[in-house]
Amino acid sequence: MLFERKKAAELALRRIEVVAAIIRDGDRILATQRGYGRWKGWWEFPGGKMQEGEGREEALVRELKEEMDAAIVIDEYYTTVEYDYPDFHLTMHCYLCHLADGYFKLKEHQDARWLTVDTADSLQWLPADEGLVATLFQQEHGAL
């Protein structure tokens, strides 16, 4: 009985809710490379965790300012990605955005690249972001 309860607790993964910016410039999107933690060196869309009581768009604006010193304009909601990592479940709310003034400075990431349909699959994307990249470019720039 105790074993069954422990197993059930393990199956109920910790849930993390984040926001992500798909930053566009014409037919390009911006990817950032993690500079810390278990997934250091992997590529992702910039963003981060929502704080308690914070709205999604508010969190996205705050995270991009904190991580990249970037002012963004949120164009529209794009999709929500649900992904099970081995030790947590991720809910990632994604928004199409653009830089308000074209400026950003990396504070937490080790690199950033503007990608096109021809270069997007050359990076090692975080698992939750990988499917999103495929979907974005599969639409042949329809979303961009």
What is the tally of helices (H) and strands (E) in the chain?
3, 7
Give the single-character DSSP code of 45.
Answer: -
Q: Tokens 């909601």, residue? A: 77
Side chain identity, residue 32:
T
Q: What is the pLDDT of residues 9-55, one digit of tens each?
A: 555 779 999 999 999 999 899 999 999 889 999 999 999 999 999 99
Tokens of 132: 């999103």
Which among 91, 17, 14, 13 is positioned nearest to 51, based on CA atoms? 17
Residue 114 is predicted with a pLDDT of: 96
Q: Does pLDDT of 134 surpass 90? A: no
Where exactly are the structural domains of the chain? 13-138
Which of the two residues, 44 and 7, has the higher pLDDT score? 44
Return the pLDDT at 138.
75
pLDDT digits (tens, 9 = 90+) for 48-93: 999 999 999 999 999 999 999 999 999 999 999 999 999 999 999 9
CA–CA distance from 124 to each of 28, 45, 61, 83, 130 (Å)? Answer: 17, 12, 26, 17, 8
Task: Please list the residues that pair with 21 across neighbouring strands.
Answer: 95
CATH homologous superfamily of domain 13-138?
A: Nucleoside Triphosphate Pyrophosphohydrolase (3.90.79.10)
Residue 96 in this model has a pLDDT that exceeds 70: yes
pLDDT at 119: 86
The 10 Å Cβ neighbour count of residue 84 is 11
pLDDT bracket for residue 128 (50, 70, 90):
very high
Q: Are 94 and 79 in contact (CB under 8 A)?
A: yes
Phi, psi (deg, nearest 5) at residue 76: -170, 160
